[in-house]
Amino acid sequence: MEAVSVSDDLKIRAAFEWRRAILIEGEPGVGKSRRAVELAAQYGEGCRVVVLNAAELHSELWESQVFGHARGAFTGALKGTLGYVQLAHDGVLIIDEVGEVPYHLQARLLRVIETGRFHRIGEPDKLLESRFVTIAATNRNLDAEVRAGRFRRDLLDRLSTCRIELAPLREMGRDAVEQAARAVLVERAASVERAAPTLTPAAGALLGGYHWPGNYRELRDVVEALITLGSATLEGVRRVMGDRPTRRLEPLAIVEQLVEASGRAITAAGFAAASGCSLSTATRRLNALIDAGLVVKTSRKRGARYAIVTSNPTPTTKGKP
């Protein structure tokens, strides 16, 4: 799980201690549901977790399934049932897609979040109690929904004890995307009891150069395809990514691409041809990679070749042995 800020950590701990609400916001696919489950596991100390997806419930059945109903409450109610809020007692209620909660039922949801009290359909005079932490998630702009009259301001205020916004992958930078890809690769491989293929630097650079409109959901799909393929090299990523547009590879990625293709160290001329630069520029970039300890020169004669460093040596400094 991504680290939370000190401020958010304090707010989250307070929400769990006082059974308040946490609101997770972000674009589709950024991992809001997953983050909600992670927070429940990390801060809930093994408590019960009940997940309610507001978008999946039919509007006519919403009240019955969320708050429960008594026997005989309506035609076909042959027995009483417990709703989501009652099942979540002393635990965590995750409300995914909270922006989809029908407006006419938002007041009831607000009441149970605030007071812990509610009644089942068919038992209007019998108050029940359920105390829980609420973690709500949405890809909607709830402030805009309030202004449009589709979401209650008081409910939003109650959900906003702690607001966490998850950034889309395209705003996280190349290194963060590569790190996320490696983490998902290990996680998804473990889920099917397979060894995770090693993501090479060039392959990671290619993933980092993509804008990921589908965010983590799309990244997961790509990673699962790499696991099925059994390869996370540059060639493997290219096969899986197909014609999806990516930004230009960095110099190190170009070197690895050429080494992977030829199976041997490369020349400065080959690097220049692949990167579309002059020989002098190619030599300068390769020397910068040598100084950073990422590339090594395998021959000092004319037509020297360059190879990827496979270990992690200490970077060298020009003019020093």
- Give the C-alpha separation, 160 to 202, whole Å: 42
CA-to-CA dists, residue 264 to 259, 260, 267, 283, angstroms: 5, 8, 10, 18
Is residue 216 domain-shared with residue 72, that is, in the same domain? no
Asked whether residue 311 carries a pLDDT value surpassing 60, the answer given is: no
In the sheet with 266-267, reading across from the earlier edge strand, the strands are 266-267, 305-308, 295-297
Q: Which residues in 246-269 are b (16+ Cβ under 10 Å) and which e?
A: eeebbbbbbbbbbbbeeeebbbbe
In a domain, 246, yes or no: no
Same domain, 140 and 200: no
Of 199, 202, 208, 211, nearest in space to 244 by CA: 211
> What CATH number does the domain containing 275 carry?
1.10.10.10
Look at residue 257 and tell me whether its pLDDT is greater than 90. no
Residue 233 and residue 273 in one domain: no
Question: Is 315 within a domain?
Answer: no
Q: Is the torsion defined by CA of 80, 55, 131, 2 positive or negative?
A: positive
Residue range(s) defining the domain that contains residue 302: 251-308
Q: Which helix (H) or strand (E) holds 183?
A: helix 174-191
The DSSP secondary-structure symbol of 311 reads: S
318 in a domain, yes or no? no
Q: Which residues of 274-304 are buried (b: 16+ CB within 10 A; e: fewer)?
A: bbebeeeebbebbeebbeeebbbeeeeeeee
User: Distance of alpha carbon 8 from its chain centroid, rounded?
Assistant: 17
Give φ, ψ of 156 to 5 degrees.
Answer: -60, -45
Of 113, 137, 166, the residue at which a domain comes to its end is 166
Two tokens at 154? 């008081």
On average, the pLDDT of the chain sits at 86
- Helix, coil or strand: residue 297: strand
User: Pairing mode, if any, of strands 21-25 and 49-53?
Assistant: unpaired
12: tokens are 């989250």
**30-44, 119-133, 227-241, 251-265 — which is least confidently predicted?**
251-265
Whether residues 10 and 125 fall in one domain? yes
The enclosing domain of 199 has a CATH number of 1.10.8.60
The domain total for the chain is 3
**Residue 132 placed within a domain:** yes
**How do residues 135-174 score in pLDDT, each as one tens digit?**
999 999 999 999 999 999 999 999 999 999 999 988 888 7
Query: What is the spatial distance between Cα 8 and Cα 10, in angstroms, rounded to a whole number?
Result: 5
Does residue 293 have a pLDDT over 60? yes
229, 279: one domain: no
Instruction: Please indicate, yes or no, whether residues 157 and 177 belong to a single structural domain of this protein.
Output: no
pLDDT in tens, 15-42: 999 999 999 999 999 999 999 999 999 9
